[in-house]
């Protein structure tokens, strides 16, 4: 039986590559963001903010192409789930990019003195590195349609959540100095943004499960912490 609809399949494959390529853009934005935090590099932070246009551009372009594919190819079954998943993943990517921007916008506010608490900076950089590897894993899970790998993201995200809580404790203990407190608040915003990025990676994992199983649901959420998916 010869293959039919090869152009459609090629278009679908190409859009998937484009959408997942957005995760590479996010990864690189996050790397630069972490570098900007580590070295208090305001210029690098500004570059991240400007470059977010590329992520937004990818979002809009692939979104439009997916809508066109829906309108013209009447996709059903896995194709339809894949397109739906990609629409969600694109949104996740766009949000992750925006979180990097949020971090980079507060870096200048953290001042030019050495950090008030080295431990906190270390925590944040660790959160960041861990989150980068979550993003990689989410991308691979999607490419390989690997539900186990996707589900594993939940546990790895727990690590990031724990680090975020530790940051919060460190911030509480920072003391009365007004400058220090301001610095600690910007660091908390940063930690929070990284935690959000990691969360978005888990959401991508949930989309992997949807494509493969057809079941659209959260892996776990606060009101049902041990729910079976």
| Interface with another protein (CB under 8 A) | 2, 4-8, 67-68, 71-74
Instruction: Report the nearest approach of another protein to the CB of residue 63 (Å).
Output: 12
Instruction: Report the nearest approach of another protein to the CB of residue 86 (Å).
Output: 17
In order of 30, 58, 198, the CA distances from 26 in angstroms are 6, 11, 12
Instruction: Report the nearest approach of another protein to the CB of residue 143 (Å).
Output: 27
Instruction: Report the nearest approach of another protein to the CB of residue 67 (Å).
Output: 6
Sign for the CA dihedral angle at 197, 200, 202, 205 comes to negative
Within 8 A by CB and 6+ apart from 178, the residues are none
- Rounded Cα distance between 175 and 181, Å, is 7
Instruction: Report the nearest approach of another protein to the CB of residue 83 (Å).
Output: 14
In order of 92, 130, 159, 173, 206, the CA distances from 170 in angstroms are 29, 19, 17, 5, 32
Nearer to another protein, 79 or 206 (CB): 79
Nearer to another protein, 4 or 178 (CB): 4
Q: How many other β-carbons are positioned within 10 Å of the β-carbon of residue 96?
A: 29
Instruction: Report the nearest approach of another protein to the CB of residue 15 (Å).
Output: 14
To the nearest 10 degrees (0 to 180), the angle between helices 42-73 and 6-38 is 160
Nearer to another protein, 71 or 222 (CB): 71
Nearer to another protein, 7 or 176 (CB): 7
Nearer to another protein, 8 or 216 (CB): 8
Strand partners, 224: 221
- Rounded Cα distance between 100 and 21, Å, is 17
Within 8 A by CB and 6+ apart from 28, the residues are none
Nearer to another protein, 65 or 189 (CB): 65
Within 8 A by CB and 6+ apart from 229, the residues are 151, 209, 215, 217, 218, 219, 220
């Amino acid at each position: 039986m010869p293959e039919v609809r090869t152009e459609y399949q090629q278009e679908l494959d190409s859009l998937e590559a484009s959408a997942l390529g957005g995760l590479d853009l996010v990864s690189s934005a996050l790397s630069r963001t972490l570098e900007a935090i580590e070295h208090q590099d305001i210029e690098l932070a500004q570059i991240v903010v400007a470059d977010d246009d590329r992520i937004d551009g990818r979002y809009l372009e692939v979104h439009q192409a997916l809508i066109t594919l829906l309108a013209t190819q009447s996709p059903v079954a896995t194709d339809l789930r894949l397109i739906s998943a990609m629409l969600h993943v694109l949104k996740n990517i766009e949000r992750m990019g925006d979180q990097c921007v949020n971090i980079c916008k507060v870096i200048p506010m953290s001042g030019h003195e050495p950090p008030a608490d080295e431990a906190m900076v270390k925590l944040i950089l660790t959160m960041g590195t861990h989150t980068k590897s979550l993003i990689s894993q989410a991308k691979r899970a999607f490419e390989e349609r690997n539900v186990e790998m996707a589900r594993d993201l939940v546990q790895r995200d727990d690590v990031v959540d724990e680090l975020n809580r530790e940051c919060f404790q460190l911030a509480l203990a920072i003391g009365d100095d007004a400058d220090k407190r301001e610095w600690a608040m910007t660091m908390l915003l940063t930690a929070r943004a990284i935690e959000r990025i990691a969360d978005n990676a888990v959401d991508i994992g949930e989309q992997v499960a949807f494509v493969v199983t057809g079941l659209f649901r959260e892996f776990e959420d606060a009101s049902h912490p041990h729910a079976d998916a």
